[in-house]
A and B are shown apart, each in its own frame.
Chain A
Amino acid sequence: MFYLFAAVCVGGALIAVFRREPVVGAVGLIAMLLGVAGVFVLLHAHFLAVVQVLVYAGAVMVLIVFVIFLVDPRREGPLPLRGIIMKGFGAIAAVFILLEVGRAFLRGGGSRAELPAGFGSIEAFGEALFGAWLLPFELVSALLVVAMVAALVLAKRRT
């Protein structure tokens, strides 16, 4: 199961990054997000998986697609030459990081803690969220409000 989801994730991500048409890229991204949701399920994070599907694959992607239609971006030209050296170095470094880190991770298996009863259930997650993490939670809600206001202000047409 893990490999299935992982393949979906990687494939979607590759489409999202390397296809030039934004709409196709957005579809790839949705695929990747769904794949990640599957990974979450495998990791017993059921609530997060649900949120991932609802909020990410649903709301956020609708927003992105909507904006894509709104601004109607032209197809990108070839890769720009400006800063290509630095970007190339960056890309090479990314590949290097991937190889090194991936190798290191795959080498170490690591032990797993015995899962307590009900781990990952919405009930347990809720208790954690509204217990120890209440203050950050409230701050995040404030952040969302601020972001919403900011988005409104920025996107509002100047009269």
Chain B
Amino acid sequence: MMQALSNMQNYLWLIPALPLLGAIVNGLFGRRLSTAFVSALAISTVTVSSVLSVMAFFAVRLVAHGAPMVTSLGSWFAIDRYGVAMNFMVDPLSSVMILVVTIVSTLIHIYSVGYMKGDPGYHRYFAYLNLFVFAMLVLVMGDNLVLMFVGWEGVGLCSYLLIGFWFTDEEKAIAGKKAFVVNRIGDFGFLLGIILLFHYAGTVDFAGLREVAPHFDVAAGTLTVITLLLFLGACGKSAQIPLYVWLPDAMAGPTPVSALIHAATMVTAGVYMVCRLSFMFALAPVTMGVIAGIGTLTALFAATIGLAQNDIKKVLAYSTVSQLGYMFAAAGVAAFSAGMFHLVTHAFFKACLFMCAGSVIHALSGEQDIGKMGGLSAKLPDTRFTFLVSTIAIAGFPPLSGFFSKDEILWLAFTSRNPAIPGLNYAVWAGLAITAFLTALYMFRLYYMVFTGGYAGHAHPHESPKVMTWPLVILAAVTMVLGFIGLPAWLEHPVEKAFVAVHGLFSKAPWSYPNFGHFISSSFYAQGSNFGFAEFSHAAEIGFTLFSIGIAVAGWYTAKRLYAGRTSAVPERLAERAGGLYRGAVAKWYVDEIYDAIIVKPFWAVSRALHQLVDVFIIDTLMVNGPAYIAQGTGYVLKFWQNGNVQRYLAAILVGAGVVVYVLLKG
């Protein structure tokens, strides 16, 4: 076993290569292959990848003891002093990411077999999905920014392809385009950041950057600019203000895609990138302040919108935006491992939520309006159970995973100290605490609206097939236990003691309690960082924990009073009373409209003007048609000569010959 693990280093490349193989085969030949073969190939490649990922994880943990393992596939290109290697690296951070990516992917692949059954684009769907997994793994495992960017663009492409999967529906095709364009803005920043790093640091691989980072002159602001640009890229990919607008629209894609790409994995790429480059971000306190601020704002802002949405997937989408804001807020206060912990737990329960939503939508033949649901708990028992588990987790009830990760973020946000912006931590904490309340509120609203009360629709709901419910159950199970790897410090010691004691009853082998933070923290070593966390007593920490439980309970209770059984008239009255606020939230605070007015419309106007001036006049009229007009005019004159009568041609030749003879003989 240990032998296999120590050889793991040589097989790391297989982890992304297998899904690529699946994508190629299904993409090129899928049309001619049977449905069973397509799904078997897609699922098996991802499954083997996830097994390898588990092995890689244990190899890092047990063999390498947290040191990075690198597989080199050779040099990609080397220009002058700038070189980029095709290296795949697995360190604690990326090992956790590949675990999440491959395991969630595997479950969603299996789920998709049921969800996409009978779709004419079945093979195309699985080819895209496999391609996505490949790109995501390249993003995560690349040991330099350029390789990461390749994966970054790859997942963006797959996201675009899958949002617009049903491209015959124009609205969905437009949603895909919107995601692509908005992401371009972020990617532009990311790319600029990479180029600046090439210029100033001379290297883009993480190990090299880690060495160079402390030598940047922080006061000069170079590092701040670079990190801000990189964060802009993260904003685009992870749907943060101001670039979050694409994610809710991205729900146009098939629901498993929403679960995999737009909830669990791709959208977390921005968080991953910030954490991956934590050694740089931690040296730029202004950037960190911006990240924390934007993360908190996004969390709060999206939560208010989520509160008023009636489309089951839109609620979850805004919830995702909100939770991603949480992760960024954590990263922004230098609580990188807490952010990553929330990323991991969120990946599982949000994937579960989305797939439950998919199951509900599937059961109701495509209905997504929660106003037309209700009372589904009897019809969809498995879905309801797993949805409830995930809802409790995201709302932050102990002992489910969401509680531990969220509580840790809240606690660290409060105790953090940003050297450049004193007092920021309290604002972040307050914003996140309110968000926690809203999260519990809108999630339980969703739950009560969908599963309790009387059924308000007209379809005939039926539980989804086993192939769809089993992945839900597995995800829900993971959600239940995952929290225990990230216990708060005051709780960890007693629990660890208890576990070790229990373990000692069965085995003599040494065993240590798995702690997410300890394991992953070696990836976040930041030399020269001024960030710190204030010391408080355990009692204070316990107090905060109780407080966050209180918040969650308050959110749940409010939701129960307002929405349980769908009988209360309070929501309507509330909506009337707070008319402006409610309508604003329903209309997503008019952000799309504002963007339309201040960016899209002027852009169109400028484009149109340029089109008229440059394209129509200069290029079309002067450059393209101009020569044509000249030729046409000339041709108009010449066509009397070109009349197709050979005899006249010959006569003309004779005239010419006459002239020549005359010149020769006279001259």
Direct contact, A vs B (beta carbon within 8 Å): yes
Pairwise interchain contact A89-B651, C-beta atoms closer than 8 A: yes
How far is the CB of A12 from the nearest CB of chain B, in Å? 22
Q: Is B594 an interface residue (CB 8 A)?
A: no
Q: Is B645 an interface residue (CB 8 A)?
A: yes
1/0 contact string of A84-96 vs chain B (CB within 8 Å): 0011011111101
Q: How far is the CA of A96 from the CA of B660 in the complex (A)?
A: 11
Looking at the complex, which one of B650, B651, B655, B662 makes contact with A100 (CB distance below 8 Å)? B662
Pairwise interchain contact B654-A94, C-beta atoms closer than 8 A: yes
Pairwise interchain contact B661-A97, C-beta atoms closer than 8 A: yes
Q: Which residues of A are found within 8 Å of B643, using beta-carbon distances?
A: 83
Measured CB to CB, the nearest residue on chain A to B653 is A90
Q: Which residues of A are found within 8 Å of B658, using beta-carbon distances?
A: 92-94, 96-97
Looking at the complex, which one of B650, B651, B657 makes contact with A97 (CB distance below 8 Å)? B657
Q: Is A101 an interface residue (CB 8 A)?
A: yes
How far is the CB of B516 from the nearest CB of chain A, in Å? 85
Pairwise interchain contact A86-B661, C-beta atoms closer than 8 A: no
Q: How far is the CA of A100 from the CA of B647 in the complex (A)?
A: 23
**Which interface residue of B651, B652, B655, B665 has the most chain A CB atoms within 10 A?**
B651
Q: Is A157 an interface residue (CB 8 A)?
A: no
Q: Which residues of A are found within 8 Å of B647, using beta-carbon distances?
A: 83, 87
Q: How far is the CA of A101 from the CA of B650 in the complex (A)?
A: 19
Measured CB to CB, the nearest residue on chain A to B650 is A90
Q: Which residues of A are found within 8 Å of B662, using beta-carbon distances?
A: 96, 100
Measured CB to CB, the nearest residue on chain B to A94 is B654
Looking at the complex, which one of A87, A101, A104 makes contact with B651 (CB distance below 8 Å)? A87
Q: Which residues of B are found within 8 Å of A90, using beta-carbon distances?
A: 648, 650-655
1/0 contact string of A76-114 vs chain B (CB within 8 Å): 000000110011011111101100110010000000000
Q: Which residues of A are found within 8 Å of B657, using beta-carbon distances?
A: 93, 97
Classify the secondary structure of B's interface with A: helix
Q: How far is the CA of A60 from the CA of B651 in the complex (A)?
A: 26
User: In which size bucket is the chain A interface?
Assistant: 10 to 19
How far is the CB of A152 from the nearest CB of chain B, in Å? 24
Pairwise interchain contact A104-B648, C-beta atoms closer than 8 A: no
Measured CB to CB, the nearest residue on chain B to A83 is B648
User: In which size bucket is the chain B interface?
Assistant: 10 to 19
How far is the CB of B654 from the nearest CB of chain A, in Å? 4
Pairwise interchain contact B651-A91, C-beta atoms closer than 8 A: yes
Q: How far is the CA of A101 from the CA of B657 in the complex (A)?
A: 11
Pairwise interchain contact B651-A86, C-beta atoms closer than 8 A: yes
Q: How far is the CA of A97 from the CA of B648 in the complex (A)?
A: 17
Looking at the complex, which one of B645, B655, B665 makes contact with A93 (CB distance below 8 Å)? B655
Q: How far is the CA of A83 from the CA of B647 in the complex (A)?
A: 9
Measured CB to CB, the nearest residue on chain B to A96 is B658
Measured CB to CB, the nearest residue on chain B to A93 is B658
Q: How far is the CA of A125 from the CA of B459 in the complex (A)?
A: 103
Q: Which residues of B are found within 8 Å of A86, using beta-carbon distances?
A: 648, 651-652, 655
Pairwise interchain contact A93-B648, C-beta atoms closer than 8 A: no
How far is the CB of A95 from the nearest CB of chain B, in Å? 9
How far is the CB of A107 from the nearest CB of chain B, in Å? 10
Q: Which residues of B are found within 8 Å of A82, using beta-carbon distances?
A: 645
How far is the CB of B9 from the nearest CB of chain A, in Å? 71
Q: How far is the CA of A83 from the CA of B652 in the complex (A)?
A: 11
1/0 contact string of B624-663 vs chain A (CB within 8 Å): 0000000000000000000101011011111101110110
Measured CB to CB, the nearest residue on chain B to A89 is B655
Q: Which residues of B are found within 8 Å of A89, using beta-carbon distances?
A: 651-652, 654-655
1/0 contact string of B462-496 vs chain A (CB within 8 Å): 00000000000000000000000000000000000
**Which interface residue of B643, B654, B665 has the most chain A CB atoms within 10 A?**
B654
Mind listing 30 A-B residue pairs with CB under 8 Å? A82-B645, A83-B647, A83-B648, A83-B651, A86-B655, A87-B647, A89-B651, A89-B654, A89-B655, A90-B650, A90-B651, A90-B652, A90-B655, A91-B651, A93-B651, A93-B654, A93-B655, A93-B657, A93-B658, A93-B659, A94-B654, A94-B658, A96-B658, A96-B662, A97-B657, A100-B662, A100-B665, A101-B661, A101-B665, A104-B665
17 further contact pairs, Cβ within 8 A, besides A86-B655, A93-B658: A83-B645, A83-B647, A83-B648, A83-B651, A86-B648, A86-B652, A87-B647, A87-B648, A89-B654, A90-B650, A93-B651, A93-B657, A94-B654, A94-B658, A96-B662, A97-B661, A101-B661
What residues make up the interface of A, taking CB atoms closer than 8 Å to B? 82-83, 86-87, 89-94, 96-97, 100-101, 104
